[in-house]
Amino acid sequence: MIDYLRGPVVHIETEYIVMDVRDTGYRVFMPNPYAFAGKNEPVVVYIHHHVREDAIHLFGFESREQQTMFRKLLDVSGIGPRVALGILSAGRPEAIAGAIQQENLSFLTKLPGIGKKTAQRMVLDLKDKLTGYGDEGLLSAAGFGAEPGLAGTGNGQGAGTAWEEARDALAALGYTSAELDRAWNGLQSSVTPEETVDSLMKRALQQLFKG
């Protein structure tokens, strides 16, 4: 099984990157592919090699912590690889671990694809299995890592309810006012009235990881 890949990123899409490893292109699905935008040197991507009867997929991560959290999320009933990837696209591993350990369902249900029942299962299945993420995650999940009063403030006011809710959810995940303003500056010219909270969160995360 593949544990990690080392090589340059030669192509980026919204859901995956392509790595050139010894003249072979590997498609690797990532939480935030745009984190590698503009990097010309070889990178190390930690891999979860997922094998099913009908498909073989590579899921990649920037750190061992992400890789470990992904595998723990797969142990939760109702969470598959795509949902686990979405969770890691929106929350840092230490913040997710902190929320689970504190049974913070409000935080967990803000993660993509997670409803109340799944959040409860995450707590039940993983609360006693998460170690090594430190106090930073506990503080972030408790709300101490987020800027107060982010919803509907600053540049986000003109986007309507969808952006206000998306901004509030991203703030709860630990992103600062400056980061969210930067994301909004990159989005506002293309936002439509039909935009949903989920789509705005995904696009904002792409902006954030473009830098």
DSSP 160-176: HHHHHHHHHHHHHTT--
Fold that domain 64-142 belongs to in CATH: DNA polymerase; domain 1 (1.10.150)
pLDDT, position 145? 37
* Bridge pairing between strands 43-51 and 24-29: unpaired
Q: What is the pLDDT along the chain (211 residues), one digit of tens a residue?
A: 899 999 999 999 989 999 999 999 999 999 989 888 888 899 999 999 998 888 899 999 999 999 999 999 999 988 999 999 999 988 888 889 988 988 999 889 988 889 999 999 999 999 888 876 544 444 344 343 333 222 333 333 334 567 777 787 777 666 788 888 888 888 877 877 777 777 788 788 777 766 5
1.10.3470, 1.20.1070, 1.10.8, 4.10.860: which CATH number matches 154-210? Answer: 1.10.8
pLDDT, position 132? 64
What whole-number distance in Å separates Cα of residue 172 and Cα of residue 140? 8
What whole-number distance in Å separates Cα of residue 124 and Cα of residue 100? 9
What whole-number distance in Å separates Cα of residue 103 and Cα of residue 198? 23
Map out the domains of the chain as residue ranges: 4-61, 64-142, 154-210
CA 191 to chain centre: 21
pLDDT, position 13? 92
pTM of the model: 0.65
Q: How far apart are the first and last CA of the chain?
A: 33
What whole-number distance in Å separates Cα of residue 53 and Cα of residue 41? 35
Query: Please, what CATH class does the domain formed by 4-61 belong to?
Result: mainly beta
pLDDT, position 133? 59
Cβ of 75: how many Cβ atoms within 10 Å?
12
Report which secondary-structure segment, H or E, holds 210: helix 197-210
Q: Where are the beta strands (DSSP E) in 65-197?
A: none
